[in-house]
Structure 1
Amino acid sequence: MEQQRDQWATKIGLILAMAGNAVGLGNFVRFPTQVAQNGGGAFMVPYFIALFFLGIPVMWIEWVAGRYGGKYGHGTLGPTYYLMARERVKPKSALWWGVISGMLAFSLTVLLNSYYLHLIGWSAAYSYFSATGAYFGQNTGEFFGNYLGNHAQVMLFWGITVILLAIAVGQGVSKGIERWVKVMMPLLYVFAIIMVGYVFVLGSPIDPNWSTIDGFRFIWSPNWAYLKDHFATVMLAATGQIFFTLSLGMGIIQNYASYLGPDDDVALSGLATVSLNEFAEVVLGGSLAVPLATAYAPKIVPPDVLAQGKSEALAWIGQKFGLGFSYTSLPNVFVSMGDIGKLFGAMWFLLLWFAGFTSAIAMYNYLTALLEEDLNIKRKVGTWVVLVLYFIAGLPVVYISGYMDQVDAWVSFQLTLLALFDIIVAVYLFKPDNFWKELHQGAYMKVPGWYKPILLYIAPILLLIPLIGSARSLVGATLEWPARLAIIFMWIIGAVESYYSIKRKYGEELEKNEVIIRV
């Protein structure tokens, strides 16, 4: 029998950790971007459809898979999906489902964090720059460019972030991760609520014709005409956002759920996690960047565009929204606020840092668990091995122009591909009746029976929308050799590691091609 694994000490710690995993930069940066670029209120309709019919079902699937793997002492996808696949196919066939799933999860985690950790570092830097007023009185676009060109400064804030992650993960699940998120998640919500309150009473700070109400109206007024003309594009963006915001298709929900007891609830806990994330994204994230940018439109929108009217100005803001918007245009808003802008800007970027940190800590733990469980490397040592891996993987992001965008496009495709594996392995190969039974094992709620066909049929169909969309975006795109080599290298390492981890524990039943080990 495996030695006793660490487990969550409290239910609130588990929920906050899972919510922290889901709440990330996507809630406060990517979500407003998708809303602004996809017709405002037109985006919200397919967004909630995708949440109900795709996000919640896949979230339950990953919670069930994680807890099931935890029964056998596994917190990584390779062995877990081998165990689930062997319910329908022979062990030798199940081995390859486990190897491919583990390969995708490993490569996703490393490649995503090669640039995600740098984005978190940028947020830490800009929190400091805002508090000190470093970019006040300067061209904010040039300031951001100069910061990115100062590699020593970039690596400093990256290093601070990753070292803190290593310390938190090295302390374990209950004594490390749980304690950190119990502090950081409440602070994240407090900061966000304070800023949203300020935005609500801000009104028209520059021009009486431009107020935060215009921004809220843009988000929450259904734009049926836009949705009719751009339905496929908006639906693709909405389904893609659901995956990013809930951290689906990465293997990290399964990792966190593996630290549950065999009879711990997953049905209500999964739904609570979704609710906390959606509150952070829709209510808080949707009430900050877009309304604030709209109220300060006279300061950030070119005069010739501004003269064309609100519709054209809002369209311009939507086109410019994105990651760079937070570091170039929003600082202009903070400067326009005067002295309070330093505080507001520092809180905004610290909010982004908290959100990014609590997501990154989950991915950091996945790789640490892989080293600890599959290679018998002590957790404290493993955390520093992961830090070195992240450092090496992140160097091309700093020194090779365009590398981050290429890897990000590939990550989006792999993410949706792994989510498809979730459904195939954890539902169909595991057998739907087995899955339904596991979902309700120790559950605090009964999932309605009509959700079963949603899990079996509607969710997979909706999943094909972002999967095909991501594949199409890659067709014709030229992957340069640095990105290509990084992807292939991570595939090889992930496949070899997954094969070894499954073979090491289940070698006898693979040799006999029959199930031997049962818990």
Structure 2
Amino acid sequence: MKKPSDSWGSRTGLILAMAGNAVGLGNFLRFPVQAIQNGGGTFIIPYLICFLVMGIPLLFTEWSIGRFGGKRGNHSTPYILGSMSNSNWWKYIGVFGIFTNVAVVAYYTYIESWTFIYVIHTLVGTFTPMSQSEVSMFFIHYVNLEGSDFGIPYLPVIVYMVVLGINVYILSTGLGGIEKVAKIGMPLLILFGTVLAYKGWSMGAGYASETFPDANAWDGINFLWTPQYTSLLDPKVWLSAAGQIFFTLSVGMGSIQCYASYLKENEDIALNSLTSGFTNELVEIVLGSAIVIPIAAGFLGLDWVLDNAGFGMAFQTMPYLFIQWGELFGMVAGICWFGLLFFAGITSSLAMGTPWMGFMKDEFGWGKVKGAVSFGVLALLMGLPTILFYRYGYFDEYDYWAGTVSLVVFALLEMLLFTWVFGIDNAWSELNRGADLIIPGIYRWIMKYITPLLLVLVLVGALITPMGNDWGGAIAGLLNGEGWMLDPGSLVSKISHQDLQLLMKNDPLHKEFYTNKMFFSSLARIQLITLFLFIALLVWYSGTKRKQISHE
């Protein structure tokens, strides 16, 4: 058996690194938006149920798969998955575990670069004299490469390369460097988040204004935490809750398996996986829900939040709101906000580099520096178009296909491999080996039947999403012989560009823009397919090398 050239220094470091992998931008940016768009309290119950019956089983599975492959000398998903079956094709399914990380880090690092530059702008007081609309337009000009920030043309590209370079440098130091960043970054993230969450919880109605006389932070908190049990019958809410689980736990990517492949043979993965999972949930539910929504509701009112909820609030609205607390504390709040986003981002993006590096080390003997630099070059080649053509949806295409669809597909396939091909008896034995924690026996049944079924439903739901996400109306229409009207956001509609064609039809004055957007979205898909085939080719070549060595 091969001995790993790298290992975790301590259990604390491992847990923090795993939690850092999971605790990402989705905890603070995506979770509040999903909660708002799905009715607040109507979202929480399905979300928690999905965590129990889908999130935890996936964590159990990925930790187990990773440790199993690691004790056989494999530290990347193609050969980790390949070691669990006699079929040669599973290693090509494992390509998803490298492909997804490279494709996601390409645009994810761009978001990190926004947080990095916004910390600097907060320090120098750029947002202090701006109105709400000016702060909003500042972000739009930045991502559209309009004008010159700090008098430097194409500064977003430069900042992106700097942040990517920071990632590459830390990766080049191996697991030890990642562990150190996690030990520093995670406590700072929680500290910054606690400061902002306390402020959000204590605002009350003290910041209501003539423009927003009904503004009250507690309206936002009550909106989130008042359960509405009708959500249990709404498929749209369930799909959104299940989708958030993927984002928040970083499952279906391949990074957890890679981290776990460096564990000791009898490491307690049952307790470790639950600890990292619940740490992530604590950060998301306690901190993620207590910042954006309460603070925005405290200044602008709940109705404004409901009408304007979106990913851009973090950059287009929050800097302005922080200023309302006064210049000094506004600066402190801005540093806390963008600082915690930066640490949340980088602890996740570092995990995305390890599957590629593990693969290149195992199969081609590349060291840490060479592996990290090659990962950075590949990410740069993939990422530059997401910056240069952001306005034409290049970024969105990566996020949808690599950061959403790919996760569900890979998670479903690895779940079937672990519980059906490898076998639930072997899977259960592997999961419990070395465990001090007694896992409830019901999880055998959940992992084999319920979790795969939920993953199939999520995938089918995304594939044929009905118009307006109205599942009840769509089913009734189908029974009445009226057919099934697909939503422009469905996977089928996106594959055929029906979503853009509809926008073009409804907005003929901007036909040229949508034509360009269709062209660049197609180009982004070609680039993603090329990346997948390139990695698959490397896996095939490495397989031929292994055969040659075994015959010698």
- What TM-score comes out, normalization by structure 1 length? 0.90
SS of aligned partner of 1:448: coil
Greater displacement, 471-480 / 286-295? 471-480
The alignment status of 1:399 with 2:391, answered yes or no, reads: no
Where does residue 338 of structure 1 map in the other structure? 326
Where does residue 223 of structure 2 map in the other structure? 218
Higher relative contact order (CA 8 A, sep 6+): 1
In structure 1, what residue type is equivalent to 2:414?
A: D
For 1:88-167, what aligned pairs fall within 5 Å after superposition? 94-102=87-95, 104-138=96-130, 139-148=134-143, 149=145, 150=148, 152-167=154-169
What is the CA-CA distance between 1:57 and the residue it aligns to? 0.4
Where does residue 89 of structure 1 map in the other structure? none
Deviations 1:8-60 (A, max 9, x none): 11100110000000000000000001001100000001001100000000100
Q: Would the aligned equivalents of 2:84 and 2:422 in 1 still touch at CA under 8 Å?
A: yes
| Aligned CA distance change for structure 1 residues 247 and 387 (closer, same or farther; 3 Å) | same
What is the CA-CA distance between 1:228 and the residue it aligns to? 6.1
Where does residue 77 of structure 1 map in the other structure? 77
CA distance in 1, matches of 2:426, 2:83: 13
In structure 2, what residue type is equivalent to 1:135?
A: F
What is the CA-CA distance between 1:116 and the residue it aligns to? 0.6
SS of aligned partner of 1:84: coil
What is the CA-CA distance between 1:319 and the residue it aligns to? 4.5
Q: Would the aligned equivalents of 1:54 and 1:462 in 2 still touch at CA under 8 Å?
A: yes
CA distance in 1, matches of 2:547, 2:177: 31
What is the CA-CA distance between 1:508 and the residue it aligns to? 7.8
The alignment status of 1:192 with 2:199, answered yes or no, reads: no
Q: Would the aligned equivalents of 2:79 and 2:91 in 1 still touch at CA under 8 Å?
A: yes
The alignment status of 1:436 with 2:428, answered yes or no, reads: yes
Deviations 1:72-125 (A, max 9, x none): 111111111111022xxxxxxx111211222x2222112211211100110111
CA distance in 1, matches of 2:547, 2:65: 18
**Which of 486, 493, 517 in structure 2 is aligned with 1:476?**
493
| Cα RMSD, aligned residues only | 1.7
- Identity %, equivalent residues: 35
Q: Would the aligned equivalents of 2:97 and 2:355 in 1 still touch at CA under 8 Å?
A: no
Q: Would the aligned equivalents of 1:132 and 1:342 in 2 still touch at CA under 8 Å?
A: no
In structure 2, what residue type is equivalent to 1:166?
A: V
Where does residue 60 of structure 2 map in the other structure? 60
In structure 2, what residue type is equivalent to 1:410?
A: W
Where does residue 477 of structure 2 map in the other structure? none
The alignment status of 1:390 with 2:390, answered yes or no, reads: no
What is the CA-CA distance between 1:481 and the residue it aligns to? 2.6
CA distance in 1, matches of 2:365, 2:317: 48
Deviations 1:386-432 (A, max 9, x none): 11111111111111221111221112111100000111112211111
Where does residue 413 of structure 2 map in the other structure? 421
In structure 1, what residue type is equivalent to 2:140?
A: G
CA distance in 1, matches of 2:4, 2:300: 57
In structure 1, what residue type is equivalent to 2:24?
A: G
- Tell me the matched-pair count: 484
Q: Would the aligned equivalents of 2:46 and 2:232 in 1 still touch at CA under 8 Å?
A: no
For 1:499-510, what aligned pairs fall within 5 Å after superposition? 499-505=540-546
- What TM-score comes out, normalization by structure 2 length? 0.85
Where does residue 304 of structure 1 map in the other structure? none
CA distance in 1, matches of 2:417, 2:546: 20
CA distance in 1, matches of 2:439, 2:548: 37
Greater displacement, 117-126 / 146-155? 146-155
For 1:4-23, what aligned pairs fall within 5 Å after superposition? 4-23=4-23
Where does residue 367 of structure 2 map in the other structure? 378
For 1:359-378, what aligned pairs fall within 5 Å after superposition? 359-378=348-367
| Runs of 4+ that moved beyond 6 A | none
SS of aligned partner of 2:449: helix
What is the CA-CA distance between 1:318 and the residue it aligns to? 3.2
Q: Would the aligned equivalents of 1:95 and 1:502 in 2 still touch at CA under 8 Å?
A: no
Q: Would the aligned equivalents of 1:78 and 1:502 in 2 still touch at CA under 8 Å?
A: no
What is the CA-CA distance between 1:145 and the residue it aligns to? 2.0
Gapped regions of structure 1 (runs ≥ 5): 87-93, 299-309, 512-519
The alignment status of 1:260 with 2:263, answered yes or no, reads: yes
CA distance in 2, matches of 1:410, 1:53: 25
CA distance in 2, matches of 1:234, 1:127: 34
SS of aligned partner of 2:16: helix
Q: Would the aligned equivalents of 2:102 and 2:353 in 1 still touch at CA under 8 Å?
A: no
